[in-house]
Chains A and B, each alone.
Chain A
Amino acid sequence: MRRLDTLAWLLGSLMAASAALVVTWAQAATGTPAAGADGWSPDERAVLASLGLNRLPPVPIDPSNAVERLPAAVELGRRLFGDARFSRNGEVSCASCHDPRKQFQDGVQVGRGVGTGSRRSMPIVGAGHSPWLFWDGRKDSLWAQALGPLEDAVEHASNRTRLVQLVAANHRRDYEAVFGALPPLAGLPRDAGPHGDAAERAAWAAMDARQRDQVSRVFANMGKAIAAYEKSLRHEPSRLDRYVEAVVTGRAAQGILQAQELRGLRLFIGKAQCVTCHNGPLLSDRQFHNTGVPPRDPARPDRGRAQATAKVRSDEFNCLGPYSDASPDRCQELRFMVSDDPSLEGAFKTPGLRGVAQRAPYMHAGQFAALEQVVRHYVAAPPAAVGRSELMRRGAGGRAAGHDARTPIELTDAEVADLVSFLGTLGAEQAPTPAAP
């Protein structure tokens, strides 16, 4: 066993060395460029350009939501988003956990609705670019996502018939302007739904199929309006965007970033390997990764993506479901979804990093209070509590989950500080799109 360990260590070292050689070779092949602002090579300038907000394509059209671009749907969604009457205790709205004044998140470890959730509230701006919603991607559209909390026992804790009656009582005119006449609601149970307590489920089962369908359709439409509103929100440029534009266009870039921030940026796209997953204008690859983040409850580690693919596939509100406006051939993400890859065990979606310095705490359950802890986690690269971490561990000898050529992230204390300093340049320079609901 001991001999095997030594062999594994040797192999690991060899691989690290050959990876270093490849990098050296690539630098030789591209020439040693020191031209351009701050000495960025042409390759580095291309990476910088790829992070700019002006490279963000228009938010993809969701074929499953026919109303997402109607101004009246955006306005209705804005009202629904801020309406606390939808919650069981009359105190919780979407905006409670997705506060427009705080980048549409809440700044606490796990969401607090009517009860306490188990994951961190995610920011909303830019979410329409992701094919999978929530940390584990258990929903395949913004509108289907928006429905989850309304029926969740610890968030709004409401149920389908109650929600639809509240729409009729408080938003009838706005709703009917977008979706047409509400169905007759006389005789509906006050509290009934497929995910409620036993009495609510029994009342739901006792309704006839047509009634259930009509109620579910109004419920789905609530989500479509909320999604229309959420999709209307835009990121504002950050200091990094201003810097990138100056570098790419050859204009004066001096003074936009401080020396320490600049060093951090160099690490971000270089040896700290952040840009491997935090890529593109939203600084996220929108994929699911296990990086060994310690679970909030070690007794019950969160399996993340591994237990979400079955949920999204069977979700009645998915792209292929009866309440979707898409033809089945347009539901490609769902049709071609990966669901049997062992790397999905304990994997969570790469969060975008725009405005990250103002969004503590971090990770899927707010495990880390400060960005410095986050960066140090990637250096420490602890083994995962569930599944296998993708990160290479320094001196661990073995291999991370199949990552033959990935090298450990090694940073000095000063470099950790540089990286944290750089992450502060990703916030919007102006207040984000005004959107108080």
Chain B
Amino acid sequence: MNRFLSTTLTLVAIAATAGCMSAPPNLDLSLTRPTVDHRFVVTLQPPATPPALNQLHAWQVRLASAEGAPIAHARIRVDGGMPQHGHGLPTRPQVTQELADGTYLIEGMKFSMTGWWEIRLAIDSAEGADKVSFNTVVTEPGARR
């Protein structure tokens, strides 16, 4: 817990450069999270090389049941934005392919400034519907977890 907290603090300190508005101190930056109603566990995978600001890029998302079984053929809507600036994502990213059972490709991701971004997924599948939200802190020169 302490190690997680200090990582968060370091990242938040870096984020303080973003228009001189810092992200909240208790931001959960984990990339694997249960959905709101605990129906699914979702893992987000950013690109291996952090993208530059304003560069279009793709993320992957792995969708599993609470027990860890991959969830195929789900429909996933992507939304997000900067809570501290009140604006949404500069693009409308979409899931364009299911790469393998339970692994989906999100294309059209873009961050237009450094700072705290929220990435929200609305999931709809034969196993039910649920929502999950991730935090990411974008730093110069690219995105970091």
Q: Are A405 and B83 in contact (CB under 8 A)?
A: yes
User: Number of B residues whose C-beta is below 8 Å from A?
Assistant: 35
> A404 vs B21: C-alpha distance in the bound complex, in angstroms?
13
Which residues of B lie under 8 Å from residue A287 when comparing CB positions?
87, 90, 112
Which residues of A lie under 8 Å from residue B84 when comparing CB positions?
404-406
Determine the main DSSP class of B at the interface with A. loop
**For the complex, is A306 an interface residue (Cβ under 8 Å from B)?**
no
Q: Are B113 and A29 in contact (CB under 8 A)?
A: no
Which residues of B lie under 8 Å from residue A279 when comparing CB positions?
19, 113-114
Contact with B along A327-345 (1 / 0, CB 8 A): 0000011011111010100
Which residues of B lie under 8 Å from residue A30 when comparing CB positions?
13, 16
Sorting the interface of chain A by its residue count into under 10, 10 to 19, 20 to 34 or 35 or more gives 35 or more
Decide yes or no: A22 and B24 within 8 Å by CB, A57-B52, A402-B86 being known contacts: yes
Indicate which residue in B13, B92, B108 contacts A26 across the interface (CB closer than 8 Å). Answer: B13
Indicate which residue in B22, B86, B112 contacts A23 across the interface (CB closer than 8 Å). Answer: B22
**For the complex, is A390 an interface residue (Cβ under 8 Å from B)?**
yes
The chain B residue with its CB closest to the CB of A407 is B21
Q: Are A44 and B25 in contact (CB under 8 A)?
A: no
Contact with A along B55-96 (1 / 0, CB 8 A): 010000000000000000000000000011111111111100
Which residues of B lie under 8 Å from residue A270 when comparing CB positions?
20
Q: How far is the CB of A32 from chain B (nearest CB, A)?
A: 13
Query: Contacts A29-B9, A286-B54, A390-B87 given; 6 further ones with Cβ under 8 A?
Result: A270-B20, A279-B19, A336-B94, A338-B91, A405-B21, A405-B85
Binding site for A on B (CB under 8 A): 9, 12-14, 16-17, 19-22, 24-25, 52-54, 56, 83-94, 107-108, 110, 112-114, 140
Can you list 22 pairs linking A and B with CB atoms under 8 Å apart?
A: A22-B24, A22-B25, A23-B22, A29-B12, A29-B22, A30-B16, A275-B20, A276-B21, A279-B113, A280-B53, A287-B87, A332-B107, A336-B56, A337-B91, A339-B92, A343-B88, A400-B86, A401-B86, A402-B87, A404-B83, A404-B86, A406-B84
